[in-house]
Structure 1
């Protein structure tokens, strides 16, 4: 066995609003399926690269089309749209289970990074989940300092560190 990656579970403490970014959050719709699929695929590869691993080296799988449609129909995927209404970021969440909702994935295309889209989207999704009475959590890859820094600034606090093991033959 070898460690595939080190992950960290975070829980939202007191939500700290980031500096406002232009635009706003909108629920992704069924018509957005192709873009959502492309961004889920990009998220998987980019997450590896941002953590210093070769693209595709993690055991991530893109949800199938039917699963993504279910998530879209249920309203569990959001875009941050810029001032012109164009999607520039994607944040997802899972419905609460036993009172806890998990945020993820969180993806900003490379050309849109560094503008505050992710922080604003995660803050707003987290606020909405908390307003519905859920405890809010998310997972990060410990090798990705950018995401860990953004979430800490929003008020997410580490709960537990884990290692994802890979069986090697």
Structure 2
């Protein structure tokens, strides 16, 4: 039994949540058949993440990692080699895997060792968006910080 959720009421009554709602809608439509290549997503620290993807048989030159805004795309395409007649072809020659990234998540490193592609990610929140402590003034300092009052002009009726 599959749950068919309708997010349209949320689209009509929410402001600023379009990315999240679109991600939920895309996840609902995603096909579960596409499960190759297998991968792990690991939270390595407070703001550090790592994707490990099994890409056995692909060389570094046959892999491409692209970040487009909040989308990470990992693709592999085997080079067209010799002309061979296959009786059975069960090894994938290409793939494309997409990962939706949260705001301010960037790819910092990628490496390929023994058929395992590892992509390091880091969330870097800009300084102006981080929480900051606001000092509280008392006494004389408060009177200096008080806003100036503007006198209203008198109009004759």
- TM-score, normalised relative to structure 2: 0.25
Higher-Rg member (1/2): 2
- TM-score when scaled to structure 1? 0.24
